[in-house]
Chain A
């Protein structure tokens, strides 16, 4: 099928970017979205032009590297049947011949654009460094049943741990807020016994770091959960809010 791709091209973080049109004449409906860009890049390279820079790694929806805003929606999942996928898991059969597809990078102050469609998501690493861990003596892994955990908590922790840190929540949020990510990255630990010791210091530190990175505040619209490829939901943000209130009442200040 034939497609027009309007792609954001930007040389580096210091320059202005703009949209650039590319015609594709022979896109296979069976190819994945990223393979379609690969084909275009091959063509561009053969023509001696600069290929489009975009992030990707596993291409099976588990690593969190791919990050494209497709026609205004993070990971492009705006079609009825397509929910909870990363863009690497989307196929061209979901598009129509003759369509124009607009490709943009995640846009947020906390995610500076490095080149074309690639942004720097180092802010997420720093939020995790601020508290998304537990301090334990290393050694061999303990038995999974060594400490009893209610099934409900184990399930919630597992749901939170599904976050692959892709940043679609930030990209989709009208306020470029990172609350869904931050709440998931503490939600996994805060629902397990091992995470309790540092629980309230963790929430204060991670929230403080999140604010420092320049992300916006939550206005409870739920745009984030609508695009999350791992279906992380707003409950984690509510829990984070509640834990921050408790931490404030306990008198815990930030150490980051």
Chain B
């Protein structure tokens, strides 16, 4: 027991918690993105899907239970991810207590250097997103809990497209986060090595592009009048 309890105290343990919770979110986002695409099949189909999420697992589960179970996984995962990210980032800053006058990077790319900033942006976006489409407070012009299709269309058409643009900016941050994050996850869990690193980089690139593009399709389609 002592081993597993000591684990989160170590830098590597925290990093592994970050990788596992990131993987949970990656899976969740993939499912979420595919679900969103049902908007192109029309209002009835989309609303049925949204309702279906609440009646999933009946009769074993009651109304809304499956959704709550999912929330019980993704919310703690996010809390752990953010906790590890912030703790480690602070530690990393302290570890270089005297600053270089000149320090050149030979390898690092923008995705790697922006992880914590992109992450904080994503966190703020998640709050905005919940206010927008889940709770329908403040940032939505005409929220109706029984008509998700309307909520999405009206939400993206509202306020001179500012909410839609916020989504697109957040998605750009997400693509950078996932490009480094997906490869990084394998390295952190010890599943990367020289033989696979190229393939894993390509996988990370595909994941980043496909998830981001899939999500972006919805606000873009509303903005350009393809749906709505």
Contacts and interface: CB of A to CB of B under 8 A. Distances in A.
A217 B88 contact: yes
Interface stretch (A43-51, A125-133, A136-144, A247-255): A247-255
Nearest to A244: B12
Contacts of A73: 104, 106
B3 to A, nearest CB: 4
A73 B95 CA distance: 18
B107 A220 contact: no
A197 to B, nearest CB: 17
Contact of A107 (B91, B98, B106, B189): B98
B92 A242 contact: no
Contact of B3 (A102, A113, A237, A247): A247
Interface string A155-177: 00000000000000000101111
B191 A109 contact: no
Contacts of A233: 194
A159 to B, nearest CB: 11
A15 B105 CA distance: 28
Contact of B10 (A8, A102, A208): A208
A248 B3 contact: yes
Contacts of B177: none
A227 interface: yes
Given A217-B88, A220-B112, A104 B102 contact: yes
Nearest to B115: A219
B92 A251 contact: no
B3 A177 contact: no
Q: How large is the interface on A (under 10, 10 to 19, 20 to 34, 35 or more residues)?
A: 35 or more
A252 B91 CA distance: 24
A177 B95 contact: yes
Among A217, A244, A249, max chain B CB count under 10 A is at A217
Contact of A217 (B91, B105, B194): B91
Contacts of B184: 219-220
B97 A109 contact: yes
How would you classify the secondary structure of chain A's contact residues: helix, strand, loop or mixed?
mixed
A219 B114 CA distance: 11
B102 A72 contact: yes
Given A223-B106, A238-B191, A238-B192, A107 B92 contact: no
B108 A207 contact: no
Interface residues of B, number: 48
Given A220-B184, A241-B188, A253-B6, A72 B103 contact: yes
Contacts of B101: 8, 19, 102, 104
Contacts of B13: 244, 248
A254 to B, nearest CB: 6
Given A234-B192, A241-B188, A222 B95 contact: no
B95 A220 contact: no
A222 B108 contact: yes
B98 A113 contact: yes
B32 to A, nearest CB: 26
A7 to B, nearest CB: 11
Given A108-B96, A241-B15, A226 B190 contact: no
15 contacts: A8-B101, A69-B100, A72-B103, A72-B104, A174-B92, A214-B94, A216-B92, A219-B92, A220-B180, A220-B183, A221-B112, A223-B108, A226-B107, A248-B6, A252-B3
Interface of A: 8, 19, 69, 71-73, 78, 102, 104, 107-110, 113, 172, 174-177, 179, 204, 207-208, 210-211, 214-223, 225-227, 233-235, 237-245, 247-254
Given A109-B94, A238-B193, 17 more contacts: A72-B100, A73-B104, A110-B95, A172-B106, A174-B105, A175-B95, A177-B95, A214-B95, A219-B184, A220-B180, A234-B192, A239-B190, A240-B190, A241-B188, A242-B191, A244-B7, A245-B16
